[in-house]
Amino acid sequence: MADLQQEHHREIEGLLENIRQLSRELRLQMLIIDNFIPQEYQPFEVDLSHVYFAYTEESMRQSLMRLERPRTSKSGKARPKTGR
């Protein structure tokens, strides 16, 4: 039983470290975008209220689900049309 708990703890720590690393990479990418791309050329702003992650207990796979994509950006400009 103790072995299973240790394995579970190591797996959780690995997942948390992965999340920390991805968060650092995301902050760096956002810093680069904010400093080198003018605001008027940044139409795709991320609104996290429309995005959530779901984890299944069996596979611990991450699924990105979007509720609905906003029609305009925060600046009020219409979003570019996509092929969808």
Tokens 């796979």 appear where? 61
Residue of 43, 48, 52 lying closest to 82 (CA atoms)? 43
Top-confidence residue, 27 or 59: 27
Q: Is the pLDDT confidence value at 83 over 60? A: no
- pLDDT tens for each residue of 10-54: 999 999 999 999 999 999 998 998 898 888 877 766 666 555 555
How far, in Å, CA of 26 to CA of 13, rounded? Answer: 20
Dump the DSSP string for 41-72: G------GGGEEEEE-TTT--EEEEES---SB
- The model's pTM is 0.46
Q: Is the pLDDT of residue 57 over 60?
A: no
pLDDT of residue 52: 57
Structure tokens at 49: 């209220």
